[in-house]
Amino acid sequence: MHTFTVWAPNASSVDVVLRDGVLPLHTADGGWWTREVVEAHHGTDYAFAVDGSDPLPDPRSPWQPDGVHGFSRVFDASRYQWSDDDWAGRDVRGSVFYELHIGTFTPEGTLHAAAEHLDYLVLLGVEVVSLMPVAAFPGRHGWGYDGVDLYAVHEPYGGPEALQRFVDRCHDVGLAVCLDVVYNHLGPSGNHLGSYGPYFTDRHTTPWGPAVNLDDTGSHEVRRFICDNALRWFRDFHIDALRLDAVHALVDDSPTHLLQQLSNETAALSEQLGRPLGLVAESDLNDPQMVDPVAEGGRGMTAQWNDDFHHALHTLLTGERSGYYEDFANPGVFAKALTQVFLHNGSYSSFRGRDWGRPVDPDRHRGGQFLAYTSDHDQIGNRALGDRPALTPGQYAIGAALVLTSPYTPMLFMGEEWGASTPWRYFTDHEEPELAEAVRTGRRREFAAFGWDAEEIPDPQDPETWRSSVLDWSELDESPHRELLTWYRDLLALRARTPELRDDSLGSVAVTEGPESLVISRGDLRIVVNLAAEPAEIGVDGVPAYALLAFGTAELMTEHVRLPGHGVAVVLVRVDPW
């Protein structure tokens, strides 16, 4: 037996369409429709017809075996036999994140295939597997940010039970799971929410069109749709944290912002389940209010991504100065991003043409509330060619050291730990010819404004664009990939056993910048960096006692460390040798 329910407040009639017949639903309070069907059970296919419409997927469909345009299928999440009773959860603040995309992490592109590499991630030193969106989206291949069935798991990845098995396996080997969810918009293909009710409003607009209705007529049930979705991932799939995409696009003038509501409800569920649950925001606002407690007027997020740190580090290593990197080319920028979180903390942003951000109070905030990274899916995939940074092995090693010895929560993007040569491009698989062409021409038009020839831009719809983005695991056995992987493993192991490197107090780090060098102080440790291509002697305060770790060689001298070009070392010093 199964009870079908759907919210359709403006409908005159709603039917549930089964493979062997059509049954009318009955009205219930608040615009809901419902019907108990004795013959329906786990695995039953169904759809809804609103006012005599063609069959439509359930807005809360738990399973879309035939894609986003097909029938929904009943999924009983309680059938899965979990083996993670001993899993106590993990506070994601200060934990090592590893962002991966199921469709390109392995050649198979499935959750099952990804699970075969979990032991590798444990050996690397990862603590949180951060999955890019798995909600059902159109076609077979895509980034996942154009999902339309937010309660379902993309069938080509394996479907809902495959996600349960994946999370169970992660917990078995000691890994937490963070899931990327997108509540600020839905994709253009297969989005049927507007046929059911006021899920969108023209009261606000976003880059994707009308905003999700968080504060207009009917918004109560839309907010419930989102919050129930988030809680379901925690409860039915044992997810440990959610990464909330582009929360600055969640336009909400309600007395209680959606993020505050979600924070409060997540905290209540965490108390009920007896394990920590996290909310990690992607925010463009540079506002520490995002991670302030709700009781203090904040949004209540556990942590947030810090693009300013990425931009400062990217500019430092690559010398790139165009677009939004322009403001990050000045002296002292990286030091500010490392010690004060945001470069733009009330300062003028030339890219935005206005003052931007607010300062982070080191007495109230911890570094662990902010994620630091050398790259992520956006910073690679949204480049014209989807190319990873063109760096020497030494520069990759420097980037890793500056992230993994920072006071922030570190995050790696899949493949960076061995300097993967594969790009990570923007790819789609739309069935509708007009939509496919719109995506193709829009992508080319966007980069033509920056001087790119249209023919140089990979076609998102070409299967080769997706295939070229799949990681090449054979590189692990090749030089210099092998040496870089060893460096990442050693750095992560050093971080795990060294209290000074896990201290997330913003006052626990200091920076000395030279023309082509950096010295980062963390207690009695010095992270010494030669940014130049030629060998250099770099001064440090105190007497270097020994090098805990070095990429290449590190010659210790009195108050100096000699490094090769693009060299980096973690050195223990005696500040007062007497």
Burial class from Cβ neighbours inside 10 Å (0-12, 13-18, 19+) for residue 479 reads exposed
Does 247 carry a binding-site annotation? yes
Does 248 carry a binding-site annotation? yes
Does 245 carry a binding-site annotation? yes
Cα distance between residue 319 and residue 275, in whole Å:
44
Q: How far is CA 270 from the centre of its chain?
A: 21
| Cβ-contact 322, 311 below 8 angstroms | no
Tokens of 158: 């394996």
Cα distance between residue 99 and residue 126, in whole Å:
10
Q: What is residue 410's three-state secondary structure?
A: strand
Does 310 carry a binding-site annotation? yes
Does 381 carry a binding-site annotation? yes
Crossing angle (nearest 10°) for helices 219-237 and 160-172: 50
Does 413 carry a binding-site annotation? no
446 is known as an active-site residue:
no
Q: Which of 245, 252, 417, 429 is catalytic?
A: 245
Does 246 carry a binding-site annotation? yes
Does 378 carry a binding-site annotation? yes
Does 519 carry a binding-site annotation? no
Q: Which residues contact 372 (CB under 8 A, 6 or more apart)?
A: 306, 309, 310, 313, 403, 406, 408, 409, 410, 411
6: left (phi over 0), alpha (psi -120 to 50) or beta: beta
Does 399 carry a binding-site annotation? no
Crossing angle (nearest 10°) for helices 333-340 and 307-318: 150
282 is known as an active-site residue:
yes
Q: If you ran DSSP here, which 8-state letter would residue 124 be given?
A: H
Does 566 carry a binding-site annotation? no
Residue keyed to tokens 């090098």: 547
Q: Which of 282, 287, 376, 429 is catalytic?
A: 282
Cα distance between residue 483 and residue 418, in whole Å:
8
Tokens of 64: 């879309």
Residue keyed to tokens 């165009």: 322
Burial class from Cβ neighbours inside 10 Å (0-12, 13-18, 19+) for residue 129 reads buried
Does 314 carry a binding-site annotation? no
> Which active-site residues does the annotation give?
245, 282
Binding residues for substrate: 243-248, 307-311, 377-382
Binding residues: 243-248, 307-311, 377-382
